[in-house]
Amino acid sequence: MASRPPQGYRIQRGFNLSSYLHIHLHTFFASLGRLARSPFNFMMTVGVIAITLSLPAGMLVSIENLKNLSGQIDLKHNISLFLKQSINREQALKLTQKLQQNPDIAEATLIDKQEALDEFRQYSGFNAALSTLAENPLPHVIQLSPISDFDEPTALNTLLTQFKQHSDIDLVQMDMSWLERLNAILNIAQRSVTLITLLLGIAVLLIISNTIRLELQNRQSEIEITRLVGATQAFIRRPFIYGGFWYGLFGGVLACLLVNLSLWLIDGPTSTLSNLYGSHFKLHYLSFNSTLNWISFSILLGISGSWVVVNRHLNMLENQPS
């Protein structure tokens, strides 16, 4: 005890960076140590957080993969114009040349009806049957693809309408429309997963809040005693905020591991399947950036979840006598 006389009651509140950092560093590791002392409880909460987050993360990466798969198929729109039977070869050639000059069209080729019939004969095996026909039943066909940046549906639609109204054209067919539909479905799915992410994010927030709330209850006497010996609200809050941080960090890391583990499990069968189709499709794992994003998201949820509960609790304590 003191040999030097005690100082007075004036409050000195100097800010000392080194002691501030010291307290933070101490709490940072102390909070981790506390969690490590009850590993079962800790891992249980982390497991719940990880599984909850792995659902939207897994769905998003699956959608990415499907988009990637559909992207590998040439997404150039191929439009086939079936001309009327009455149109002869000269007229068809003229129309083809006209289409080639259209700035919206990258390529237009005429498939002559005689050529088409020959080809059909050769490959279909209906040679004998076809020879009995009096005349060629096939029309002239113009195959064209719009310019590559011609991806706006409305502009494409005007072009299609023009073709449909053209007097020489019998039928307009878009070959790739199923792919478009798939993409549209994938877009809807992606939007839905964003919503699911939001909901499950709230779930994680509630899980962490509840865990921290229980811990606040368990450490009630400790909180009271530290208040008695002069702890500030920030000092009392800190270990719980770090607790939330650790739950978020471990939950996020485990969620990413779970997603990659699941992808790894279906990687084998997927490549077998794609080999059967002669495709070079390769399953993509969580990218470095999305891993980082998911972990940050999880940490953010951890910190904000504990922040809300701890502040509520401290305000309650402040308004009730010790």
Partner 1 sequence: MLQFINVFKRYPGGVDALKNINFKLENGEMSFLTGHSGAGKSTLLKLIALLEFSTQGQVLLDNQNMGRISKRNIPYMRRKVGMIFQDHRLLHDRTVFDNVALPLIIAGYQHHDIQRRVRAALDKVGLLGKELRYPISLSGGEQQRVGIARAVVNKPPMILADEPTGNLDPALSEEIMQLFVQFNQVGVTVLIASHDISLINKMGYRSLQLSQGELVTNNG
The reply to whether 225 sits near partner 1 by the rule CB under 8 A is yes
The reply to whether 319 sits near partner 1 by the rule CB under 8 A is no
Nearer to partner 1, 22 or 181 (CB): 22
Q: How far apart are CA 215 and CA 212, in angstroms?
A: 5
The footprint of partner 1 on this chain (CB under 8 A) covers a number of residues equal to: 35
Strands 141-146 and 105-111: antiparallel
The reply to whether 44 sits near partner 1 by the rule CB under 8 A is no
For partner 1, the binding residue among 2, 128, 134, 276 (CB under 8 A) is: 2
The reply to whether 29 sits near partner 1 by the rule CB under 8 A is no
For partner 1, the binding residue among 33, 103, 153, 230 (CB under 8 A) is: 230
Stretch that binds partner 1, among 7-15, 62-70, 144-152, 196-204 (CB under 8 A): 7-15
Sequence-distant contacts of 34-40: CB under 8 A, at least 24 apart:
34/239, 34/243, 35/243, 35/246
Q: How far apart are CA 215 and CA 244, in angstroms?
A: 11
For partner 1, the binding residue among 72, 222, 264, 275 (CB under 8 A) is: 222
Runs of H (alpha helix) within 107-176: 113-124, 127-131, 153-165
Q: How far is the CB of 5 from partner 1 (least distance, A)?
A: 4
**Nearest 5°: phi and psi at 111?**
-105, 105
Nearer to partner 1, 1 or 276 (CB): 1
The reply to whether 165 sits near partner 1 by the rule CB under 8 A is no
The reply to whether 33 sits near partner 1 by the rule CB under 8 A is no
Q: How far apart are CA 64 and CA 206, in angstroms?
A: 29
The reply to whether 316 sits near partner 1 by the rule CB under 8 A is no
For partner 1, the binding residue among 235, 275, 284, 296 (CB under 8 A) is: 235
**Euclidean distance between the first and the last CA atom of the chain, given in angstroms as a whole number:** 28
The reply to whether 311 sits near partner 1 by the rule CB under 8 A is no
Q: How far apart are CA 314 and CA 227, in angstroms?
A: 10
For partner 1, the binding residue among 122, 134, 149, 228 (CB under 8 A) is: 228
The reply to whether 26 sits near partner 1 by the rule CB under 8 A is yes
Judge contact between 286 and 273, C-beta under 8 A: no
Judge contact between 298 and 251, C-beta under 8 A: yes
Residue 5 DSSP class = P
Neighbours of 132 (CB within 10 A): 6
Footprint of partner 1 (CB under 8 A): 1-3, 5-13, 16, 18-20, 22-23, 26, 221-222, 224-233, 235, 318, 321-322
